Amino acid sequence: MTPLRGPILRGAVLGVVLLGLIAPIVVGLTETARAGFGQLPALGHVGWSLEPWRMLRDQPGFVTSLRLTLVTGVGATLIALALAVGFCAAMSSGAGAGRMRWLAPFLAVPHAAMAVGLAFVLAPSGWIARVFAFVLGWDQPPDVASVHDGWGLALMLGLVVKELPYLLLVMASGLSQVPVARQMAVGRAMGYAPGVVWIKVIWPQLWPLIRLPVWVVLAYGLSVVDMAVILGPSNPPTLAVAVVRWFNAADVAMILPAAAGALVQTAVVVVAIAALCGAEVVLRRAGLWWLRRGGRGWSWGPGLRVAQGGVVGLMALAALALLSLLVWSLAWRWSFPMLWPEGWSGALWMRADWRMAMLHTLVLAAVTVVLALVLAICWLEAEEDRARAPWAEALIYLPLLVPQIGFLYGLNVVFLRAGVAGGYAAVICGQLLFVFPYVMIALSEPWRALDARLLRVGAALGAGRWRRLLALRLPMLLRPIMTAAAIGVAVSVAQYLPTLFLGAGRIATLTTEAVTLSSGSDRRVTGVYASLQAALPFAAYGLAALIPAWWHRNRRDLRGGTA
Amino acid sequence: MSLEVQGLAVRRGDVALFAPLDLRVECGAVAVVMGPSGVGKSTLLDAIGGHLEHGFTCAGRVLVMGRDVTALPAEARRIGVMFQDALLFPHLCLGDNLAFGLPAALRGRTARRAAVEAALAQAGLEGLYARDPATLSGGQKARAALMRALLAEPQALLLDEPFSKLDAGLRAEMRSFVFGHVKARGIATLMVTHDPADAGAAGGAVVAL
């Protein structure tokens, strides 16, 4: 009954997504794998060989790097998950999305900015040590490696601080789909303590809703580079950082073990996610056994309060870290053990050298976010003609699960062949892989929640497809569209590896500069870049709240806080 | 302005929702489809208006003024709809809601404005052009929704339980307002309801689904 336009649009959108999202990853991984098995014609290596793997095995510290990756990635994920679960269980019925809104700023801050701030707070000459010095009368910074420590504790802390708000917000949104209060009442009436009801009844319903985001957190923790450079052990570093170093080594032959290492990195993530799936099966059985025994359990109260306190403490630490960025960027003289700078100066802000990085960052963010929005809107609009395609929706998550280091090298090789490497186009393409999924995830729920009858009324009044989209759907969805754009800006600003690899180091953004500067000695300059990097997402979120509020200032039904 | 349905059957996958339906509504008449909830009354209206969702298929023919519209998209059928909610567009002011339905053929800013103001006056909404629709009362919203549908000059009108959300006093008033307008303009109207009082007031043919 509908004209043929439907199937064509559907095919076009799926084609774009397949080409745009899946192909770069598959092609990139393939190219990396070829190099990993000795095929590197550019350097005269032809014919398959296991030489790269021998070189990888012989790299000093390879085993330690692998161990550090597993411990920090898996450890940080489990700790963040445990704290988030404990926090939600302690709030029991009250963990609604509204109560979690205070976490949004911490979610918006890029990983690198948070890591720099944490380094400022945790370092031997950082704020925490200065408090101890004040109390204990030290006049020298303590001789401990509280950042870049050999166990990766600082890195784990950074990952937990950054992933915790994400997990909490995802859980809050999942919990809004579960009738928590009523099930809580039923469980308590049968003699179970609130925390026990939460673990036995609510959690099994929540897990399927947050499984994919937890996978994303796990994959990210195992393969993070920027945070690991700033906070993690430096010699040997985690595997992802080691692989980046080898790829960028002066000796180009190091590309061979680097490619093999990138494959190991990918395998680590795949195995970790598989292990999580295995643990899920085992825990489900154990949980059922526990549930069927019917034991009322002891009160979990104290443990849950520890988790609640832990979350509040970590977020206070995060706030302190962000504040320290600004304070350092404005400090003139701030010697140990002073708690506050002795002199202030805006001189570094007046210097112009950050402006180019700012411009690059803004242009990249603007272009990728607009492209991502257009793609997402086409995708969702095409849904009018077809049933939702769950397999395609699952594929959107793929770029968030595959380690960036696994395919970015190979993707760059392809771009080099195509002659687009090292330019804006390549970086935009790379960033889009990560911006589009988040924009799509943010926009799809409010898009589908819009009352379809409003559009039917529009059609019955004679409005065709374009007019319905432009005059009805988009203005009505202005607020969620702006929110999705702000999330896209935050994701784009935070990108480190895609900018570094695909920009061939020529496109310096606030993020690449902040990571590079973090290894230097001048905290004040680093503070300027990291402050700006943190400020951009804040500004985007601010605009995303203000613009719709102003635009719809006389429209009561659109002023509500549904997005 | 007649509305005719010939052998209309809607299937969801392999399941037929109701037996093939034949129906003819004359100009200015209000025919009524009754039946318990879940029987597919709203889906019948969707099929006639061209709003069927993906997953539904439809056989048979729909004719408006003798014109076969079965293959046309909803926006080309010239069949208006009203639901139990007024569904005024929340981002437009009241007057712009009405202007949205006004045919593009009516040109000129003043002429269009005058047409909207006249429709507002007919609905007892004089001077409320710039109002936020969210601030109107239930009865005002319902009257505005009808005027918006009529301004588009439909050749047939579908009403999907249009009075069920109004309270009892308002319901009788809205019935006579709606039926008065469609009869005066000679628009063939098909109404779905489960309220026998609606059927009685319509005074046209009653089809049980």
Same domain, A259 and A147: yes
Are B73 and A3 within 8 A, CB to CB? yes
Residues of B with CB under 8 A from a CB of A: 46, 49-55, 57-58, 70-71, 73-81, 83, 85, 87, 89-91, 93, 100-101, 103, 132-135, 148-149, 152, 154, 158
What pLDDT was estimated at residue A262?
96
Nearest to A457 among B46, B54, B81 (CB): B81
Of A296, A322, A345, which one is at a domain's C-terminal end? A345
Are A456 and B81 within 8 A, CB to CB? yes
Kindly state whether A4 is in contact with chain B, defined as any CB-CB distance less than 8 angstroms: no
Nearest to A454 among B57, B89, B152 (CB): B89
Using the predicted structure, report yes or no on whether residue A4 has a pLDDT greater than 50: no
A334 falls within a domain: yes
Q: In chain A, what residues touch B75 (CB-CB under 8 Å)?
A: 459-465, 468
Same domain, A458 and A437: yes
B111: distance to nearest CA of chain A, Å?
19
A442 falls within a domain: yes
Evaluate whether ipTM surpasses 0.90: yes
Which one, of A225, A216, A226, lies nearest residue A265 by Cα?
A225
Of A318, A345, A372, which one is at a domain's C-terminal end? A345
The answer to whether the beta carbons of residues A552 and A559 sit under 8 Å apart is yes
Same domain, A328 and A362: no
Q: Average of pLDDT values for A535-542?
A: 94
Are B101 and A462 within 8 A, CB to CB? yes
What pLDDT was estimated at residue A5?
52
- Closest residue of chain B to A462, computed from CA coordinates: B75
Q: Average of pLDDT values for A523-544?
A: 94
- Closest residue of chain A to B93, computed from CA coordinates: A555
A154 falls within a domain: yes
Which one, of B60, B58, B74, B71, lies nearest residue B22 by Cα?
B60
Residue A298: pLDDT band (50, 70, 90) is low
pLDDT in tens, A493-521: 999 999 999 998 889 999 999 999 998 87
Report residue A537 CA to chain centroid gap: 13
Are A459 and B50 within 8 A, CB to CB? yes
Question: Hey, what are A297's tokens?
Answer: 């359990």
Which one, of A113, A165, A174, A40, lies nearest residue A326 by Cα?
A113
What pLDDT was estimated at residue B13?
84
Q: How far apart are CA A399 and CA A223, in angstroms?
A: 13
B149: distance to nearest CA of chain A, Å?
7
Single-letter amino acid, residue A555: R
Nearest to A462 among B46, B152, B158 (CB): B152
CB contact residues (below 8 A), chain A span 461-490, against chain B? 461-465, 468, 471-472, 475-476, 478
Verify cis geometry, omega within 30 degrees of 0, for the bond prior to A110.
no
Using the predicted structure, report yes or no on whether residue A95 has a pLDDT greater than 60: no
A6: distance to nearest CA of chain B, Å?
10
Q: How far apart are CA A223 and CA A189, in angstroms?
A: 45
Are A460 and B148 within 8 A, CB to CB? no
Q: In chain A, what residues touch B57 (CB-CB under 8 Å)?
A: 1
What pLDDT was estimated at residue A11?
73
A54 falls within a domain: no
Same domain, A415 and A522: yes
Same domain, A179 and A104: yes
Kindly state whether A453 is in contact with chain B, defined as any CB-CB distance less than 8 angstroms: yes
Q: How much of chain A, in percent, has pLDDT values that exceed 90?
A: 61
The answer to whether the beta carbons of residues A122 and A518 sit under 8 Å apart is no
Residue A387: pLDDT band (50, 70, 90) is low
Residue A3: pLDDT band (50, 70, 90) is very low
Q: How far apart are CA A434 and CA A449, in angstroms?
A: 24
CB contact residues (below 8 A), chain A span 362-421, against chain B? 384-387
Nearest to B91 among A385, A460, A555 (CB): A555
The domain spans of chain B are 3-90+153-208
Residue A94: pLDDT band (50, 70, 90) is low
pLDDT in tens, A449-496: 999 999 999 999 999 999 999 999 999 999 999 999 999 999 999 999
What pLDDT was estimated at residue A197?
87
pLDDT in tens, A330-367: 998 888 888 889 889 888 888 868 999 999 999 999 99
Same domain, A357 and A336: no
- Domain span at residue A252 reads 59-345
Tens of pLDDT, residue by residue, chain B (209 residues): 589 999 999 998 888 888 899 999 999 999 999 988 888 889 999 999 999 988 899 999 999 999 999 999 999 999 999 999 999 999 999 999 999 999 999 999 999 999 999 999 999 999 999 999 999 999 999 999 999 999 999 999 999 999 988 888 899 999 999 999 999 999 999 999 988 888 888 888 888 88
Using the predicted structure, report yes or no on whether residue A47 has a pLDDT greater than 60: yes
Same domain, A167 and A117: yes
Nearest to A459 among B55, B74, B135 (CB): B74
pLDDT in tens, A420-454: 888 899 999 999 999 999 999 999 989 999 999 99
Give the right CATH number for B3-90+153-208 from 3.40.50.880, 3.40.50.300, 3.60.110.10, 3.90.1640.10: 3.40.50.300
For the domain that residue A397 is a member of, what is the CATH number? 1.10.3720.10
Same domain, A486 and A556: yes
A181 falls within a domain: yes
pLDDT in tens, A218-239: 999 999 999 999 999 998 999 9
Question: Hey, what are A464's tokens?
Answer: 């065709």
The answer to whether the beta carbons of residues A456 and A472 sit under 8 Å apart is no
Q: Which of A281-290, A365-374, A395-404 has the highest mean pLDDT?
A: A365-374
What pLDDT was estimated at residue A98?
65
What pLDDT was estimated at residue A422?
81
Mean pLDDT of chain A: 89
pLDDT in tens, A109-165: 999 999 999 999 999 989 999 998 989 988 888 888 889 999 999 999 999 999 999
Q: Where are the alpha helices (DSSP H) in chain B?
A: 41-49, 94-101, 109-122, 138-151, 168-185, 196-202
A93 falls within a domain: yes
Kindly report the number of other CB atoms within 10 A of residue A294's CB atom: 9
Same domain, A45 and A63: no
Same domain, A187 and A260: yes
What pLDDT was estimated at residue B131?
95
Same domain, A45 and A163: no
Which one, of B148, B161, B164, lies nearest residue B192 by Cα?
B161
Q: In chain B, what residues touch A462 (CB-CB under 8 Å)?
A: 75-76, 78, 101, 103, 152
What pLDDT was estimated at residue A301?
72
Domain count, chain A: 2
Using the predicted structure, report yes or no on whether residue A561 has a pLDDT greater than 80: no
A232 falls within a domain: yes
Are A460 and B55 within 8 A, CB to CB? no
Q: In chain B, what residues touch A560 (CB-CB under 8 Å)?
A: none
- Which of A457, A554, A555, A558 should we substitute to test contact with B (largest number of B Cβ atoms within 10 Å)? A457
b vs e for A485-498, b when ≥16 Cβ sit within 10 Å of the residue's Cβ? bbbbbbbbbbbbbb
Same domain, A92 and A30: no
Single-letter amino acid, residue A76: A
What pLDDT was estimated at residue A563?
37
A382: distance to nearest CA of chain B, Å?
11
The answer to whether the beta carbons of residues B198 and B175 sit under 8 Å apart is yes
Q: How many CB pairs under 8 A join A and B?
A: 92
- Which of B10, B57, B58, B91 should we substitute to test contact with A (largest number of A Cβ atoms within 10 Å)? B91
Of A308, A330, A345, which one is at a domain's C-terminal end? A345
